[in-house]
């Protein structure tokens, strides 16, 4: 998103260095749900929402008042960003059937057809390819930052087994967090136990040490985006909307242990971790399945045969090792909630870690700050690299926060680069540092 927005200025040359699209990014395996309060899609659906309401709900969940300026800045740009993505030809709708804990109105925007983040990323990368001033360089991990007289002036890229230094007037660190770095996860998120890891392999927290060496800080490192919806032995996730259609959670002792609608999926992961066997049966019925099956999550579960059909209460009782009366009690609706009817559907769910939420300290313009809260010149961060919106605990994560932080900070930084004086900062690249010409990276040289 940073590149897409910065490229609006034809005088800028933009390069995206990507560790490996074969390994992939979390945005592409995400549900691709973009939260925004006050869009034209919501207005058309008669939904009364605003950036302020969105920001207050994120902050109510996180309790992280120190992060208010960043939350407000992201919520302020989210409607324009979502509408812009739609205007580039991406089929967007507001998910009126996507209720989420902590969200007072439908606010998640997603693709018509619910194919998820893969479709979104294919669209945005295709769009990036249409800009003559952008190079997308794949299989080219950044391994460090270049410093000139104490100032960040470029990146070190590993390409074809060779390290190259590349000068840049501004650098956006968008390399996600550290959920696939076992040492860092042990250090900061050891209390999560041994969760199923549901993210991509590339999230190894590469940028954290670069920023810390420059005097930057990290915060909220103990928070993650967790999921209490991961199906045991399959790794797929059931829909977070199920509890809003009457689904219940019953633990391995046959007990109900939580108000299913009350907690978001990240907080639910912690609750599941405390149950016998760190799992519970998510039980629902045909009505709940019909209401949720058009989502990439439920499609994947059904394709993987991760959901079991249970024809009768007696069969359910046998599966849960209960007698029929106990099973009846276990699926009895709370007051005011929908009562499930047989046949039932069942998936054993456990807790997983999808991404980390702690990261580098930035300001509302996405600038990386040093320990005295001064911007480190030319350096920006977003998405999982930056401190996220969940606050100090995984329980504070509100659905959509991840992509809001990734795309929203990309939008803010990219727009600023497109309209600012960034080109003037570009330091000369010394002859010895000149990268070997690569057709992909430098075919755009005429635009320099
Ligand atoms: C299963 C799942 C479902 C999710 N669903 C949602 C959802 O519906 N809504 C939501 O808001 N959030 C969701 N999230 C969270 C969301 O996907 C992430 O918060 C978001 O993608 C983070 O964006 P990012 O750009 O920081 O990281 P990514 O999307 O992971 O992108 C980072 C990129 O950086 C590359 N990279 C890493 N290291 C380097 C390096 N050294 N040099 C060069 N490139 C590098 C990676 O290869 C990758 O392409 C989900 C996450 C998961 C795992």
* HSE value, Cβ hemisphere, 13 Å, CA-based, for 167: 16
Nearest to 365 by CA among 352, 354, 374: 374
292, 241 in Cβ contact below 8 A? yes
Average pLDDT, the chain: 93
How far apart, in whole angstroms, are the C-alpha atoms of residue 408 and residue 75?
A: 8
Q: What is the mean pLDDT of residues 197-205?
A: 97
| CA 61 / ligand 1 centre spacing (Å) | 22
Domain residue limits, the chain: 2-221+358-447, 224-353
| CA 260 / ligand 1 centre spacing (Å) | 27
DSSP per position, 44-91? HTT----HHHHHHHHHHHH--GGGHHHHHHHHHHHHHHHHHHHHTT--
Nearest to 354 by CA among 134, 194, 196: 196
Fold of 224-353: Flavocytochrome C3; Chain A, domain 1 (3.90.700)
| CA 310 / ligand 1 centre spacing (Å) | 36
| Residue 437: pLDDT over 80 | no
Q: Whose C-alpha lies nearest to ligand 1, atom 5?
A: 30
| Residue 408: pLDDT over 70 | yes
Of residues 434 and 63, the one with the higher pLDDT is 63
Tens-place pLDDT, residues 42-51: 999 999 999 9
Helix, strand, coil: what percent of the chain each, to 5? 35, 20, 40
319, 310 in Cβ contact below 8 A? yes
Tens-place pLDDT, residues 112-121: 999 999 999 9
Q: What percent of the chain has pLDDT over 70?
A: 94
The runs of H, that is alpha helices, within 129-239 are: 182-189, 206-213
How many CB atoms neighbour CB 104 within 10 A?
A: 15
Instruction: Ligand 1 pocket test: pick from 15, 20, 24, 30 the residue with the most ligand atoms within 8 Å of its Cβ.
Output: 30
| Residue 205: pLDDT over 80 | yes
> Of ligand 1's atoms, which has the minimum distance to the CA of residue 17?
43
Q: Whose C-alpha lies nearest to ligand 1, atom 37?
A: 175
**Which uninterrupted H or E stretch holds 424?**
none
With both helix axes pointing from N to C terminus, report the angle between 68-87 and 51-62 in degrees, rounded to the nearest 10.
130
| Residue 433: pLDDT over 50 | no
How far apart, in whole angstroms, are the C-alpha atoms of residue 388 and residue 373?
A: 17
| CA 232 / ligand 1 centre spacing (Å) | 23
What are the tokens at 361? 């300290």
Our CA angle for 229, 232, 236, nearest 5°, is 55
| Residue 443: pLDDT over 70 | no
| Distance of alpha carbon 278 from the chain centroid | 24
At the second CATH level, the architecture of 2-221+358-447 is 3-Layer(bba) Sandwich (3.50)
pLDDT band at 420 (very low <50, low <70, confident <90, very high): confident
pLDDT, position 422? 57
34, 404 in Cβ contact below 8 A? yes
| Residue 82: pLDDT over 90 | yes
Nearest to 133 by CA among 272, 244, 5, 281: 5
- Specify the residue for token string 């066997």: 277
- Give SS3 for 229: strand
Cα–Cα distances in Å, from 263 out to 73, 228, 325, 343, 355? Answer: 26, 10, 28, 26, 18
How far apart, in whole angstroms, are the C-alpha atoms of residue 109 and residue 92?
A: 6
225, 397 in Cβ contact below 8 A? yes
pLDDT, position 121? 97
387, 54 in Cβ contact below 8 A? no
| CA 116 / ligand 1 centre spacing (Å) | 13
| CA 176 / ligand 1 centre spacing (Å) | 5
63, 133 in Cβ contact below 8 A? no
What are the tokens at 439? 């057709």
Q: Do domains 2-221+358-447 and 224-353 have the same CATH topology?
A: no
**Left if phi > 0, otherwise alpha if psi is -120 to 50, otherwise beta: which for 311?**
alpha
pLDDT band at 322 (very low <50, low <70, confident <90, very high): very high
The contacts of residue 269 (CB under 8 Å, 6+ apart) are: 192, 195, 226, 227, 228, 351, 352, 353, 394
Q: What is the mean pLDDT of residues 323-342?
A: 95
pLDDT, position 260? 95
Nearest to 18 by CA among 172, 152, 151: 172
| CA 16 / ligand 1 centre spacing (Å) | 15
| CA 352 / ligand 1 centre spacing (Å) | 16
> Of ligand 1's atoms, which has the minimum distance to the CA of residue 117?
8
Tens-place pLDDT, residues 209-245: 999 999 999 999 999 999 999 999 999 999 999 999 9
- Specify the residue for token string 């800045």: 73
201, 180 in Cβ contact below 8 A? yes
Q: Whose C-alpha lies nearest to ligand 1, atom 3?
A: 30
| Residue 429: pLDDT over 70 | no
pLDDT band at 149 (very low <50, low <70, confident <90, very high): confident
> Of ligand 1's atoms, which has the minimum distance to the CA of residue 141?
42
Ligand 1: residues with CB < 6 A are 17-20, 23, 25-27, 29-33, 141-142, 174-176, 198-200, 202-203, 206, 225, 354-355, 383-385, 400-404, 406
- Give SS3 for 406: helix
Tens-place pLDDT, residues 353-394: 999 999 999 999 999 999 999 999 999 999 999 999 999 999
pLDDT, position 150? 81
């Amino acid at each position: 998103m940073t590149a897409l927005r910065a490229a609006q200025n034809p005088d800028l040359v933009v390069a995206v260095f990507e560790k490996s699209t074969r390994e992939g990014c979390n945005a592409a395996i995400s549900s691709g749900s973009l939260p925004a309060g006050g869009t034209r899609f919501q207005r058309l659906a008669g939904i009364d929402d605003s950036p302020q309401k969105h920001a207050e709900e994120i902050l109510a969940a996180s309790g992280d008042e120190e992060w208010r300026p960043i939350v407000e800045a992201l919520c302020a740009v989210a409607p324009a960003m979502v509408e812009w993505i739609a205007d580039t030809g991406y089929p967007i709708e507001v998910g009126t059937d996507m209720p989420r804990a902590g969200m007072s109105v439908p606010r998640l925007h997603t693709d018509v057809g619910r194919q998820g983040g893969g479709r979104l990323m294919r669209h945005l990368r295709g769009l990036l390819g249409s800009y003559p001033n952008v190079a997308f360089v794949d299989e080219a991990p950044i391994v460090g930052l270049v410093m000139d007289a104490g100032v960040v002036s470029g990146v070190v890229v590993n390409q074809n087994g060779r390290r190259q230094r590349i000068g840049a007037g501004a650098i956006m660190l968008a390399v996600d967090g550290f959920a696939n770095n076992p040492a860092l996860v042990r250090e900061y998120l050891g209390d999560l136990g041994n969760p199923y890891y549901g993210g991509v392999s590339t999230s190894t927290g590469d940028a954290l040490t670069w920023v810390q060496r420059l005097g930057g800080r990290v915060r909220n490192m103990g928070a993650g985006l967790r999921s209490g919806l991961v199906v045991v032995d399959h790794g797929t996730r059931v829909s977070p909307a199920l509890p809003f259609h009457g689904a219940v959670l019953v633990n391995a002792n046959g007990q109900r242990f939580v108000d299913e609608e009350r907690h978001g999926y990240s907080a639910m992961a912690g609750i599941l971790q405390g149950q016998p066997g760190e799992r519970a049966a998510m039980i629902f019925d045909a009505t709940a399945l019909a209401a949720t099956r058009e989502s990439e999550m439920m499609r994947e579960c059904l394709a993987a045969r991760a959901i079991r059909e249970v024809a009768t209460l007696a069969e359910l009782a046998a599966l849960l090792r209960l007698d029929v009366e106990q099973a009846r009690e276990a699926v009895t609706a709370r007051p005011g909630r929908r009562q499930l009817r047989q046949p039932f559907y069942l998936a054993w769910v456990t807790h997983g870690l999808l991404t980390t939420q702690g990261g580098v300290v930035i300001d509302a313009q996405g600038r990386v700050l040093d320990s005295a809260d001064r911007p480190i010149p030319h350096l920006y961060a977003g998405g999982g690299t930056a401190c996220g919106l969940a606050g100090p605990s995984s329980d504070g994560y509100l659905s959509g926060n991840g992509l809001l932080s990734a795309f929203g900070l990309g939008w803010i930084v990219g727009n600023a680069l497109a309209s600012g004086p960034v080109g003037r900062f570009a330091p000369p690249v010394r002859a010895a540092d000149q990268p070997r010409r690569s057709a992909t990276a430098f075919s755009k040289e005429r635009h320099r």
